[in-house]
Amino acid sequence: MQQAQEEEEHRREATARFQFTLSEIQAQLEQHDIHNAKLRQENTELGEKLKKLIEQYALREEHINKVFKHKELQQQLVDAKLQQTTELIEEADEKHQREREFLLKEATESRHRYEEMKREEAQLKEQLSLYMDKFEEFQTTMAKSNELFTTFRQEMEKMTKKIKKLEKEMIMWRTKWENNNKVLLQMAEEKELKTSRRAPGVYLEAKLQGANETKHNSKDPFYMISSRH
C-alpha cells in the first residue's frame, strides 16, 4: 500500500515536471513565433525600402540619361550652328574676294580705256588744229573755191562732233573708274576693320610693314588698293 502511494507520488511529480517542461517549451515557442513574426515584418519593411531605393535609383538613372541626351543634342545643335556660321563666313569672304577682284579688274580696264580715249582726244585735237590751219590757209589762198571751203567746213563740223562725242565717253569712263575706285577703297577699309577685329596683332604688323610704301604711293589709288589687300 505504501509502495503504491510512493509510486503514485513519483508519477505525479513526473507529470508535474513534464507539464512544467511542456509549458516552458510552449512559452519558448510562443516567444520564437513573436520573434520570427518581428523578423518577417522587418524583412518585409527592408524589402519595401530596398524596392523603393531601386526604383529611385532607376528613376535617377533615367533622369541622368535624359539630361545627358539633352546636353548631347544641345552640343550637336551648337556644333551645327557653328559649322553653318563658319561656312557663311567663308562664303562671304569668297564673295567679297570675287567682288573685289571684279571691281579691281573693271577699274583697271576703265582706267586704261580712259587713258586710251585721252590719247585719242589729243590726237583728234591735233588733227583738228591741223585742219584749222589748213582751213585758214585754204580760206586765205583759195577764197574763190566755195566747193573746197564747204568741204573743209563739213570736215571740221564732223571732227567737232566726233570730239564732243569722245569727250562725253571720256567723262562716262572716268566717272565709272572713279566710282569703282571708291567702292574698292571702301571694301578695303571694311576688310581692314574685320581683320583688325579677328587678329589685331597680325593686322598691326601688316600695317607697319606697308606704312612706308603706302606713304610714298598714296596718290595712286590702284597702288593703295593693292597694298591694302
How would you write 161-191 as a 3-class SS string?
HHHHHHHHHHHHHHHHHHHHHHHHHHHHHHH
Four-residue CA torsion sign, 22, 27, 28, 33: positive
Residue 178 · residue 106 · CB < 8 Å: no
Predicted confidence (pLDDT) per residue in 113-127, tens digit = 878 888 888 888 888
Nearest Cα neighbor of 185 from 149, 150, 144, 228 is: 228
What's the confidence (pLDDT) of residue 222?
Answer: 41
At residue 158, does pLDDT exceed 70? yes
Give the number of other CB atoms < 10 A from CB of residue 127.
14
180: Cα separation from own chain's centroid:
28
* Domain locations in the chain as residue ranges: 69-228
What's the confidence (pLDDT) of residue 212?
Answer: 44
At residue 92, does pLDDT exceed 50? yes
Residue 128 · residue 156 · CB < 8 Å: yes
pLDDT grade for 142, boundaries at 50, 70 and 90: low
What's the confidence (pLDDT) of residue 132?
Answer: 81
Average pLDDT over residues 34-46: 84
- Residues 6 or more apart whose CB falls under 8 angstroms from that of 153 comprise 135
Backbone angles phi, psi at 220, to 5 degrees: -100, 110
Biggest alpha carbon–alpha carbon distance for the chain: 206
Give the number of other CB atoms < 10 A from CB of residue 172.
14
